[in-house]
Amino acid sequence: MLTDQLFEGQLIRFAPPDADRDAELVSRWTHDPEYLRLLSADIAKPLSPAQIKKQYEEMDKDAEKHTAFNFAVRLKEDDRLIGQARLYRIEWTHATGSLQIGLGDRNDRGKGYGTETLRMLLRYAFDELNLYRLAASTVEYNTGAIRFFERAGFVSEVRRRQAIQRDGKRWDAVMLGLLRDEWKKRDE
């Protein structure tokens, strides 16, 4: 019998997303352009708690189709929401998917929460869901995320030159990938 917790690490735990409980806080995160621009290449814009709740409803639809698995990342010590983690664009036929991690408050970054979140998300994807390949996307200026994923074994696979425009400058979109076999070798 396995003794490792699937949804708990040393510092954090995965919980179901809770729109009623968390929409106000997640809305505040969207008012931070740095958070938005590190998380996604989408247009940066602040969202109201009602808009966040609507996003949660859309995420629930993908979860019901089993093409996405969404987690609230909470600190174990006080149950405070610090971020979100998700596996999405899952293609069961090919055993592939994408992942995304976002820690909302800049004061929660650099404390090991992201590393533990990624470790738990990879274990869930590869061992529980039996996926074979995962992808992560970021923008060239997010050098911290690129290093973060490379430290975990991800390999830079695609660079879409000057695909993102921010603040009057063009940036490359960077796609990284990790195979289960590569992850298992690192995890041994």
**What is the total residue count of the chain?**
188
DSSP helix/strand/coil, 44: coil
Contact 71, 86 (CB under 8 A): yes
Largest CA distance in the chain: 55
Q: Indicate the helix (H) or strand (E) that contains 57.
A: helix 49-64
Mean pLDDT over all residues of the chain? 93
Cβ neighbour number for residue 36 with a 10 Å cutoff:
19
pLDDT, average across residues 5-25:
93
Q: What is the pLDDT of residue 4?
A: 67
Report CA 170 to chain centroid distance, whole Å: 24
The band of 1, judged by pLDDT with boundaries at 50, 70 and 90, is: very low
pLDDT of residue 130: 97
Spatial separation of the C-alpha atoms in residues 131 and 77, rounded to whole Å: 31
| Span of 29-43, 46-60, 88-102 with lowest mean pLDDT | 29-43
Domain 12-187 has CATH 3.40.630.30: yes
Looking at residue 29, what is its pLDDT? Answer: 94
pTM over 0.85: yes
Find out whether 81 and 22 touch, Cβ atoms under 8 Å: yes
For residues 139 and 172, the answer to whether their CB atoms sit within 8 Å is yes
For residue 2, pLDDT beyond 60: no
